[in-house]
């Protein structure tokens, strides 16, 4: 059978896509919203049971007869979340998420214990940043020692869904590389980081073995199959982090293509056939995360913590629906009449500014209008992502084409802005749910025995009418604005306690 299911457990919702390999099309899709507990102190948490409930709600929207035709499942999820389980497989605490910045002190302490940023890069290829899993484990050990002593397994969000589906604890290299304690060069757990987290306990005993190549995580348990209306015993692929599956869902499985995701967070990443460790310059190193891919390679990536969340907040300020939002963007010229936004509403990862705040600069009596403030928010997000392309180029990865995905890609003006700011052609694919589709395509590859490169070449199609090329005049204007944006970021970094990167 050719029908596969892709599941994407995001921050705001659970999405499912039913894909038919024979027709090369998605037969159905659905989603269920997720709650998010977030505080002013940087806490961002969800209960793992919310994901299971959301999966059930989303799948219930798919016709029962279609669900019964599913032959394989692939799961992806938000990265970095910390899911500690007891011996019975029950979560011990609410899940601290990727956008949780409350463990900044633990990050600093761990970095110092390991020997500084350079030593962290040598040990794992990555810095220990707020949001990564490492500091959450240390926080758990310090805050809840009794519960920590009962910890039997450490999983990540998509791993927990795989565990629910199959009863098997497993991990794969792509998602594991976002923990902060995984050596991306050797693709194994980093003993120096794990010893720093707990010198009295070998944490490798509570971590699963890591699969480097995609494979089968397990088979769907009969009780879960009955709950979800799916066939029992079908294979569940190893899956991966949302960015790793979005790489598959945008054909980013060979060098030369860059994916830009305009979701709650913003990401820029590209496949590499070797580890790409960002050790350029003592003050600026580690901006690019040296992640592994979920396809046997590597996936150097820049992540900004503020993307569509920034534009949603700006829209909310003026009660602008999506149609009005697009009209506002159209009414304001490039450069937003001098208004410049640094959109660090949730702190920021790149630059590493967990206590950062959003700032709007350049306002005067003539330009303080909704059009300009909304345009500046979108431009600020996009200029921040452009710095990721520049950093990738410095590391030897050029941008020949940007495949755009995520909610922001639905905006025609934003799509053109990406092409102009980045001076690169922008491609839009027919299926906009790149992460869920990527998970489905991985499941198809694993269950059929076909190569992922061939799978993506066969099944991913462009939407020519939505693709766009950079406009020469706009490229020049945004090149000048990029310099102003960099100077604004430096001021915000100085204001909120970190030297500019």
Rounded Cα distance, 180 and 289, in Å:
10
Strands 235-237, 216-219: pairing is antiparallel
Say which of 20, 242, 278, 420 is annotated catalytic.
242
Does 242 participate in catalysis according to the annotation?
yes
Environment class of 2 (CB within 10 Å of its CB; exposed 0-12, middle 13-18, buried 19+): middle
DSSP state of 69: T
- Most distant CA pair in the chain: distance in Å? 66
Strands 13-20, 83-85: pairing is unpaired
Environment class of 27 (CB within 10 Å of its CB; exposed 0-12, middle 13-18, buried 19+): middle
Our CA dihedral for 31, 23, 457, 26, rounded to 10 degrees, sits at: -10
Alpha-carbon separation of residue 271 from 127, 159, 201, 292 (angstroms): 20, 22, 35, 9
Question: CB of 29 within 8 A of CB of 42?
Answer: no
Alpha-carbon separation of residue 294 from 214, 247, 272, 274, 415 (angstroms): 6, 9, 12, 13, 27
Alpha-carbon separation of residue 395 from 260, 261, 287, 391, 468 (angstroms): 17, 20, 11, 6, 26
Is 460 in a helix, a strand, or coil? coil
Show the beta-strand stretches assigned E in 305-418: 340-342, 359-361, 402-405
Q: What does the block give as tokens for 109?
A: 């302490």
Rounded Cα distance, 41 and 127, in Å:
22
Residues designated catalytic: 242
């Amino acid at each position: 059978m050719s029908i596969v299911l892709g599941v994407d457990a995001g921050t705001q919702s659970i999405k499912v896509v039913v894909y038919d390999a024979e027709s090369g099309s998605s037969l159905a899709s659905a989603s269920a919203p997720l709650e998010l507990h977030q505080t002013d102190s940087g806490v961002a948490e969800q209960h793992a049971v919310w994901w299971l409930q959301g999966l059930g709600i989303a799948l219930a929207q798919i016709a029962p007869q279609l669900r019964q035709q599913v032959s394989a499942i692939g799961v992806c999820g938000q990265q970095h979340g910390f899911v500690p389980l007891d011996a019975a497989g029950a979560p011990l605490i609410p899940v601290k998420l990727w956008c949780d910045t409350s463990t900044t002190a633990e990050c600093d302490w761990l970095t110092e214990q390991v020997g500084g940023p350079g030593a962290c890069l040598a040990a794992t290829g990555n810095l220990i940043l707020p949001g990564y899993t490492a500091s959450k484990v240390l926080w758990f050990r310090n805050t809840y020692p009794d519960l920590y002593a009962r910890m039997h397994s450490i999983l990540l969000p998509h791993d927990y869904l795989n565990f629910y589906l199959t009863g098997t604890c497993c991990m794969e290299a792509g998602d594991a590389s976002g923990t902060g304690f995984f050596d991306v060069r050797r693709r194994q757990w980093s003993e120096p980081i794990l010893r720093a987290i707990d010198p009295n306990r070998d944490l490798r005993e509570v971590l699963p073995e890591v699969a480097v190549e995609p494979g089968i995580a397990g088979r769907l348990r009969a009780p879960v199959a009955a709950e979800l209306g799916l066939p029992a015993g079908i294979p569940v692929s190893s899956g991966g982090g949302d960015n790793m599956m979005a790489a598959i869902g945008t054909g980013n499985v060979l060098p030369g293509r860059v994916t830009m995701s305009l979701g709650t967070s913003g990401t820029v990443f590209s496949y590499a056939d070797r580890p790409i460790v960002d050790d350029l310059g003592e003050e600026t190193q580690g901006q690019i995360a040296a992640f592994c891919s979920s396809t046997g390679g590597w996936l150097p990536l820049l992540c900004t913590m503020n993307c569509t969340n920034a534009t949603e907040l700006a829209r909310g300020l003026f009660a602008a629906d999506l149609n009005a939002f697009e009209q506002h963007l159209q009414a304001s010229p490039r450069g937003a009449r001098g208004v410049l936004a640094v959109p660090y509403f949730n702190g920021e990862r790149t630059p590493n500014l967990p206590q950062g705040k959003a700032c709007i600069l350049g306002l005067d009596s003539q330009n303080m209008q909704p059009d300009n403030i909304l345009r500046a928010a979108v431009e600020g997000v996009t200029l921040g992502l452009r710095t990721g392309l520049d950093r990738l180029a410095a590391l030897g990865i050029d941008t020949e084409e940007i495949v755009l995905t995520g909610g922001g890609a639905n905006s025609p003006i934003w799509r053109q802005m990406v092409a102009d700011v980045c001076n690169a052609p922008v491609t839009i694919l027919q299926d906009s749910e790149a992460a869920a589709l990527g998970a489905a395509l991985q499941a198809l590859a694993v269950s059929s025995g076909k190569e992922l490169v061939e799978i993506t070449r066969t099944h991913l199609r462009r939407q020519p009418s939505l693709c766009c090329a950079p406009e020469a005049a706009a490229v020049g204007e945004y090149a000048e604005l990029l310099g102003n944006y960099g100077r604004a970021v430096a001021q915000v970094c100085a204001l909120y306690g970190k030297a500019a990167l």
